């Protein structure tokens, strides 16, 4: 039973040029708006000058007849796409072949993986409870068990939703599709997230099904794209579109990988941008245009106040009436740092001054009710003169051991690991 608009792999593959016959088992299913899709590579490359693959590879048709045929010049995995309403579907697929198919929520598919991995379909769907990873079949047939790695990917997605305060069961699964030519030439967010085929090579450290690479924090870029799918414009002001997504990356590093949010290797590699920015005494425009620089203040806040700060503010935004949320960049910045200060119980204007982030006079006056805060850390020590000037302007600046924001948020969205599928498909064999 599906209540979301989501993609449901069938574990079936249509060979290039063949014609699949689809038989829907009940008339009732036709009225809801289900769709059938052949192929997983949805990036349309008609605007690209040089093509490694054909620009259009997928075929999608409405499920509006009890029996119909569909063909594809290129073939591909077969999916049903559900409408955003409560409904179920049962179908019989003829003239198709099985593909390798693993689904952590279906015990039979977990237990049957050692045989199913050798199915002839050229692409494979590897499913967790909260994520699907699609990659070439030839690259996964050597793997005996995918349970551990898919549970790890599930924890990555679960952590994202927990930080944001969203009920993970009310959102479709994340979907990562590997493609020989992602749109734009690089990994990108969206539905699906699209990566290059380099992440499908089992001998590479960056192989998507490398459990140790997940736990060791080796997938910053993939975590970052999942973070993009978590972003909300309400708390992402102009210039931070490639920054606030990495609040979620830092959280995954901390919670899943056990690598603290302060100065992981990725941040350490960016410290040169901070030093250049501080040495040149650059302003807010430069801060906005360099994501490698702008992430540091978000990491500082997590490091000094804990994740309760972000969990609190994200939940505050979620509960707000949309009409009350600022939309202009200036007011968005004011509201963000006012809310952070109120939740933390500290005046964060000194920290904004350190980074040359502008705040309105009204906000500055409002924040004087809280003790001023500017951390003494590896970043602020790069600009001692700037710190002295800020401390002279604000009297009694707190620089060490601020109170952490209470972090007692619990997930109460648990569901059984093994679930009744929303889509049941059967292969008709001749």
Q: For residue 12, is pLDDT > 70?
A: yes
Between 428 and 108, the higher pLDDT residue? 108
CATH of the domain at 270: 1.10.390.30
**Residue 417, pLDDT score:** 47
Question: Is residue 353 a part of any domain in this protein?
Answer: yes
Question: Is residue 15 a part of any domain in this protein?
Answer: yes
Question: Is residue 417 a part of any domain in this protein?
Answer: no
> Which of left, alpha, beta for 75 (phi over 0: left; psi -120 to 50: alpha)?
left
Query: Around Cβ 52, how many Cβ atoms within 10 Å?
Result: 10
Q: For residue 158, is pLDDT > 80?
A: yes
Q: Are 132 and 142 in contact (CB under 8 A)?
A: no
Question: Is residue 150 a part of any domain in this protein?
Answer: no
**Residue 419, pLDDT score:** 54
**Residue 415, pLDDT score:** 54
Question: Which residue range(s) make up the domain with 5?
Answer: 1-97
- In which band, very low, low, confident or very high, does the pLDDT at 210 lie, cut at 50, 70 and 90? very high
Predicted TM-score (pTM) of the model is 0.94
**Residue 184, pLDDT score:** 83
Q: Please state, in angstroms and rounded to a whole number, the distance separating the CA atoms of residues 410 and 162.
A: 8
The domain boundary residue, chosen from 29, 62, 97: 97
Question: Is residue 132 a part of any domain in this protein?
Answer: no
Of the candidates 193, 31, 101, the residue with the CA atom closest to the CA atom of residue 425: 101
Mean pLDDT of 294-305: 97
Mean pLDDT of 160-177: 96
Q: Round to the nearest angstrom and report the end-to-end CA distance of the chain.
A: 29
Question: Is residue 12 a part of any domain in this protein?
Answer: yes
The domain boundary residue, chosen from 76, 97, 118: 97
Question: Is residue 140 a part of any domain in this protein?
Answer: no
Question: Which two three-digit tokens encode residue 251?
Answer: 């959280």
Mean pLDDT of 382-391: 97
Count how many domains the chain has: 2
**Residue 416, pLDDT score:** 47
Distance (Å) of CA 404 to CA 83, 372, 407: 43, 15, 8
pLDDT tens readout for residues 55-104 = 899 999 999 999 999 999 999 999 999 998 888 999 999 999 999 999 99
Which of helix, strand or coil describes residue 371? coil
Question: Is residue 345 a part of any domain in this protein?
Answer: yes
Q: For residue 428, is pLDDT > 70?
A: no
Looking at the chain, the whole-number percentage of residues with pLDDT higher than 70 is 95
Mean pLDDT of 307-313: 98
The domain boundary residue, chosen from 97, 113, 133: 97
Rounded to the nearest angstrom, the gap between the alpha carbon of residue 189 and the centroid of all alpha carbons in its chain is 7
pLDDT tens readout for residues 34-46 = 999 999 999 888 8
CATH of the domain at 75: 2.60.120.1250
């Amino acid at each position: 039973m599906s209540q979301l608009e989501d993609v449901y792999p069938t574990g079936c593959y249509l060979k290039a040029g063949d014609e699949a016959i689809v038989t829907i088992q009940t008339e009732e299913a036709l009225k809801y708006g289900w769709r059938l899709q052949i192929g997983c590579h949805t990036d349309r490359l008609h605007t690209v000058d040089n093509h490694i693959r054909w620009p259009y590879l997928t075929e999608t048709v409405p499920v509006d007849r009890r029996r119909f045929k569909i063909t594809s010049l290129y073939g591909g995995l077969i999916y049903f796409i559900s409408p955003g309403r409560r409904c179920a579907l049962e179908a019989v697929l003829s003239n198709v072949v099985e593909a390798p198919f693993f689904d952590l929520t279906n015990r039979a598919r977990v237990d049957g993986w050692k045989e199913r991995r050798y199915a002839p379909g050229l692409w494979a769907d590897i499913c967790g409870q909260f994520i699907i990873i699609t990659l070439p079949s030839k690259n996964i047939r050597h793997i005996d068990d995918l349970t551990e790695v898919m549970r790890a990917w599930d924890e990555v997605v679960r952590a994202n939703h927990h930080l944001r305060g969203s009920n993970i069961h009310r959102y479709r699964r994340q979907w990562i599709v590997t493609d020989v030519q992602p749109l734009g030439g690089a990994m990108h967010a969206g539905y699906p997230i699209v990566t290059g085929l380099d992440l499908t090579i089992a001998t590479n450290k960056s192989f998507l099904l490398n459990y140790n690479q997940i736990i060791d924090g080796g997938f910053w870029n993939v975590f970052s794209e999942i973070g993009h799918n978590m972003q909300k414009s309400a708390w992402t002001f102009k210039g931070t579109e490639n920054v606030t997504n990495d609040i979620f990356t830092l959280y995954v590093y901390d919670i899943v990988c056990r690598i603290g949010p302060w100065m992981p290797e990725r941040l350490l590699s960016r410290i040169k941008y901070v030093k250049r920015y501080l040495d040149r005494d650059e302003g807010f425009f430069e801060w906005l245009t360099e994501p490698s620089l702008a992430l540091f203040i978000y990491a500082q806040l997590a490091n000094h106040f804990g994740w309760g700060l972000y969990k609190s503010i994200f939940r505050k935004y979620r509960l707000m009436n949309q009409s009350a949320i600022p939309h202009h960049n200036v007011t968005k910045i004011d509201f963000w740092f006012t809310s952070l200060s109120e939740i933390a119980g500290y005046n964060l204007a000194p920290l904004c001054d350190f980074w040359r982030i502008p705040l309105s006079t009204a906000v500055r006056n409002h924040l004087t009710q809280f003790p001023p805060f500017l951390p003494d850390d590896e970043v602020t020590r790069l600009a001692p003169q700037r710190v002295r000037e800020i401390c002279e302007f604000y009297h009694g600046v707190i620089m060490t051991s601020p109170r952490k924001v209470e972090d007692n948020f619990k997930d109460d969205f648990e569901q059984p690991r093994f679930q009744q599928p929303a889509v049941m498909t059967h292969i008709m064999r001749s």
